[in-house]
Amino acid sequence: MVQEALNAFDRTPGLTVRERDELKTLFLTRLTRMTGLIEAPSSRDFADSLLDERRANVHTQLLARISGVQPKDIPIVVLAFEHRDREPTVVTNDTDFAAFTPAEHNLSKLALEYVD
């Protein structure tokens, strides 16, 4: 998931190489300072396969419809919910996903933060 975020910086139009590098550094610095960070599985193929299965799951589709969150983002919400006792903050550069307000869905221990 970290690599996916770094790749998103590369796809961001209008950034100079220096700005892109600075943003990546700030992002990685913030990640290293977070406590309780949960890392994705190390085998990308395995993780992608599981994620594709989970996104197609009827439960995922139902949660997406109820919450208004895209099915691709539901596994992230579920993972955060599984760790709700740690009051996780999901950091995203996806404006649609960032519009989701967990508290409106009785998920007050979860938070989303948009990073540009």
The full set of domain ranges for the chain reads 1-33, 41-114
For residues 82-106, give the mean pLDDT: 94
pLDDT higher than threshold 70 for residue 49: no
Non-local CB neighbours of 70 within 8 Å, separated by 6+ positions = 64, 96, 97
pLDDT higher than threshold 60 for residue 40: no
pLDDT higher than threshold 50 for residue 41: no
Percent of the chain with pLDDT over 70: 81
What's the chain's average pLDDT? 83
* C-alpha–C-alpha distance, residues 28 and 6, integer Å: 9
What is the predicted pLDDT for the residue at 51?
Answer: 67
